[in-house]
Amino acid sequence: MNNFKINKNLALLIGILTVVLLMFLCSCKKETPKPVAKPTTDTTTVIDPYVNAGVLPDWTTGTQTNKLVGTNWVLTKVINGFGTTVMHDTLHFVTYNKYYVGSDTTNSANYTLYSAQNTMTLTFEPLIPVNHIYCSTNQLGPGFESGPQIIGVEFKDPYNTGNTFKAWFTKI
């Protein structure tokens, strides 16, 4: 039993020394690390192949200086899933976003014409002679408006992608 008392006292002494040693080790003053600023150099090279710095056109109003203004085109033929229709409807482009059909100037509709990636996109909102379909084509090349004809250009309905037709126009 005397041996047990000595072991108990020895264990108590070792425990107290351990606590004191831990308190000594933990009470050291610690310094907070400070961030080191590294100088950086920007190696980004900007390549801008676009003439207009990549700015998209205003697709709601169209190009206000488009060359269709003041021109007249006769829609001569339409081919769709039902067959070929021969037509003789004259489209008069009176402003940068308005056209009318035939001699009825009150029967006008909207259109937009804009250039993107070396193609001209022509959108009718709607194309009155073709059942008032909203349609668009991007198969027109730059300068098409100075040519005598537009031959077999495919128009697509943006609301019904299966609704497509080809149209022929002659400039008068």
Answer whether 0.85 is exceeded by the pTM.
no
d(Cα 9, Cα 170) in Å, to the nearest integer?
A: 114
Count how many Cα atoms sit within 13 Å of the Cα of residue 60 in the half-sphere of its side chain.
Answer: 0
Residues 6-47: tens digit of each pLDDT: 678 888 889 898 888 777 667 666 677 777 777 777 666 665
Category of 75 on φ-ψ map: left (φ > 0), alpha (ψ -120 to 50) or beta: beta
Question: What are the start-end ranges of the H helices in the chain?
Answer: 2-26
Which tens digit of pLDDT belongs to each residue from 70-82?
A: 999 999 999 987 7
